A and B are shown apart, each in its own frame.
Chain A
Amino acid sequence: MLRVSDVAFGYVPEQTLFKDVSFTIESGEFLAVGGRNGCGKTTITRLLVGLETPRTGRIFYNDTDITGWTPAKRSQYIGYVFQQPDRQMFRPTVAQEVAFGPEQQGYSRAEVKEITAQALERVRLSDKADAYPPLLHRGEKQRVAIASALAMQSEILILDEPTSGQDGTETKELLGLLQSLRKDGLAIVLITHDMEIIASQCSRVLVMGNQTKAFDGSPEELFTKRDDLEALGLERPACVSLSMAVPSLGYCASMEEFTKRMITYKQQGGR
């Protein structure tokens, strides 16, 4: 669906942040983007939404070259949730904020209302439709940003560290919402430093490092096959370390899975 081809980028002419970066994003994927602080995760997503322009290389959406498109034009396909969602809200109520996209796309008033209501329903914010966005909690602001993307019928939703600074319960709720959106066919791109989330939630991981794409594959492959995790600023999640110590359990993507299998394994005599 979205294809990045041989992209290179740098903020200042004398430095290259990364080069030779190619990957694709397909619908229904839950793609994690990981890597050390400053490796270019935020930058790569800014390139996808058109907030930065690649030095070389192209970006395609369903084989249409969108490299030269403005962020506004791309926003019909790609939704973006900033790390500080406040910075992307301008209108006096939640409903108006979400309605902004469809209004720009030229829908009639009645249609806009319908679309907005559906999007808010989808993120369970219907009761906050008339609230003033700056007064919402951070988790709610994120959901407003997600609803805005849904109202635009975006097919890709990018979130920059949405779970940082969130408590365990908020994180769980957000992940539940993202999983259900993904089931509806959206592609989710999640920048995160949380290894347990990568292991338990994501279908694929893209790691930025060494000034290029350092890894692109399944979380299982990343956490069990790579021996340069530390150099890439990553860490093997505890559940994977433990399951590797007991090979007959197989790969465990979460601690829950590990304890369940471990208990069964023990009950069956531990062999």
Chain B
Amino acid sequence: MERVADISKLVYRHKQGGQFRWVTVSVLLLAIGAILHLVSPSVAGVTPNWVIATYCVAIQLTRPTYKQAVGIGLVAALITLMTSKSAFPYGNLASEPIAALFCALLVHGQARFAFVGEKTLAIISGFFTTVLSGAIFVTLLFFIMHLPLTVYLFGMWPLVLVVALCNAVVTPLIYMPAHHFFEKQGFVADRKEEETSHANYDLKPASQALISVEHVTYYYGSSKSSAIKDVSLVVNKGDFLVITGPAGCGKSTICQAMVGAVPQFYGGQMQGMVFVEGQAVTQTTIPKLAMHVGFVPADYDSTLVTMTVEEEIAFAMENRGYDPARITSRIDQVLTQVGLKGLEKRTITGLSGGQRQRLAIGAVLATNPEILVLDEPTSSLDPAGTSELYELVGRLNKEEGITLVVVDHNLQAVLPYANRAILVMDGEIVKDASMLDTLTYMYEERLYTDALPSLFVGYMQLKAAGYAGQAPWICVADALEDIRGEVPTYVKG
């Protein structure tokens, strides 16, 4: 176990999720290869071997493991087998997987020869992979069909070399547009990207808080600019913490870091460390973290996976190992809490937007997590649903000591329940104080004032004019109370 002196210098790199991306990319490219193979005209009996060219491109783009490369080769073999005009096409079953493996070797070897660019690599792999594949194929043919040696040496080998030369030309020609296209979709693996493991570090939080975020700087995927910069904060047991800030400021990234999705799911590079209940997020897994932290992402739709409403709640509970006997009664309880009672059997596609958001919240509540991270949980809720939700989690917070981290653009709704608010601007924390202090700071410094609750702004303006009491208006009742004292003509609203 190695100790870490300065956690802010600790780096963790992880490849962006999408572990089946190599399948998508290679299948697409091979399909194109097969079509080209069928339609391309031959000049003097020679055409490029499109299938080999396309899997070379796929392997270079996705940098698969050796096992995966063999798989790509096998699929390529099957495609050629089915479309082959050769007398003995089965040789492909050996030649393509071996050649694909060789191509992967070339691609992984590129790291040692930094001067070899992507285009050069495409030329080299296009040529040698084709030579190897051709060599295996014709040699097998030679032995199995008992061909004369002269045909083998002077008929077949020259053909192999000519095709390989053709492939040395077409492989980079396919590679360039393919790279452009897949890079746009975020599908391309970076050659410099390597995985980091923290298994051998002895990582200890600086604070004993429930969640301790220490000097975290984070770059998504292959992004050049950091989403959050040197963010440090602690969440104590029993906190009701609100994170606010303009769109794209890094609020959601902070939430994702508390549940381990950053860096484990999104990949990219993280510096510093997040500890959840003393555990470094790079030394555990997202499912293990989920036993402590319940998370509703802003894109709540993406969390719904089952067919019907009740299955969704049951699924969440089964995943946490709940006793089936308890599940039924809990479903009932939770659906009542989120206002979906009576819709148990409804299919999820038959729910309205707000109903789906209620369900996503319910599924998380059902498992009684000690920490709840809610990213814009009320974006699609009606006003009643919004206040019910905060009443509910506010009660869980007060009575059961559940810890809350909430991002919401509707600050008025959380205001009565939150004890702390953090303002994030451009990836940095600019204020971490009590809810009212942060709001006051935003108002006085003119920072992201569009988000301030209108009641709060109204109070500040009237107070500045000398017409309001000492305590800021948390809710309408406070305001009415204040006005009642001031206005002789007050009538009950």
CB–CB B483/A167 < 8 A: no
Interface size, B (range): 35 or more
Closest A residue to B492 by beta carbon equals A245
A165 pairs with B376, CB closer than 8 A: yes
CA distance A247 to B449 in the complex (A): 29
Which B-chain residue is minimally distant from A36 (CB atoms)? B382
Cβ contact within 8 Å between A164 and B455? no
Q: Which of B373-404 contact A (CB under 8 A)?
A: 376, 379-387
Number of interface residues of A (CB under 8 A): 49
Closest CB-CB distance, A255 to chain B, in whole Å? Answer: 4
Q: Is B448 an interface residue (CB 8 A)?
A: yes
| Binary flags per residue of A246-271, CB closer than 8 Å to B gives 1, else 0 | 11100000111011001100100011
Does the CB pair A11–B350 fall under 8 Å? yes
- Whether B409 pairs with A168 at a CB distance below 8 angstroms is yes
Q: List the B side residues contacting A42 at CB < 8 Å.
A: 352-353
The reply to whether the CB of B451 lies closer than 8 angstroms to some CB of chain A is: yes
**Are B462's CB and A245's CB within 8 A?**
no
Partner of B247, one of A36, A38, A137, A255: A137
Q: Is B488 an interface residue (CB 8 A)?
A: yes
> Across the interface, which residues of B come within 8 angstroms of A50, CB to CB?
none
Interface: B321 (CB within 8 A): no
Which residues of B are found within 8 Å of A238, using beta-carbon distances? 412, 454-455, 458, 476, 479
CA distance A255 to B383 in the complex (A): 18
B215 at interface, CB cutoff 8 A: no
A266 in contact with B465 (CB, 8 Å): yes
Q: Roughly how many angstroms separate A266 CA and B468 CA in the complex, as a whole number?
A: 11
In the complex, the number of residue pairs spanning A and B with C-beta atoms less than 8 Å apart equals: 141
Query: Taking the complex as formed, is B248 at the interface, i.e. its CB lies under 8 A from any CB of chain A?
Result: yes
Q: Which residues of A contact B381 (CB under 8 A)?
A: 37, 193
B324 within 8 A of A: no
Whether a CB of chain A sits under 8 angstroms from the CB of B182 is: no
In the complex the two chains form, what is the Cα distance from A241 to B492 in whole Å? 9
Chain A residues contacting B484 (CB-CB under 8 Å) are 245
The 10 closest A-B pairs by CB, nearest first: A168-B450, A37-B354, A255-B454, A235-B383, A165-B379, A167-B247, A168-B451, A233-B382, A164-B379, A244-B493
Binding site for B on A (CB under 8 A): 11, 35-38, 42, 83, 132, 135, 137, 139, 160-161, 164-172, 193, 195-196, 230, 233-235, 237-239, 241-242, 244-248, 254-256, 258-259, 262-263, 266, 270-271
A–B pairs, 22, beta carbons within 8 Å = A11-B350, A37-B352, A37-B381, A38-B352, A166-B409, A168-B451, A193-B354, A193-B380, A193-B383, A233-B382, A234-B383, A238-B454, A242-B479, A242-B480, A244-B491, A245-B483, A245-B487, A245-B491, A254-B454, A255-B454, A255-B455, A258-B458
Give 14 A-B pairs besides A36-B382, A245-B493 with Cβ atoms closer than 8 angstroms: A37-B339, A37-B353, A83-B380, A161-B380, A169-B247, A171-B409, A233-B383, A242-B479, A245-B484, A245-B492, A247-B491, A255-B454, A258-B458, A263-B462
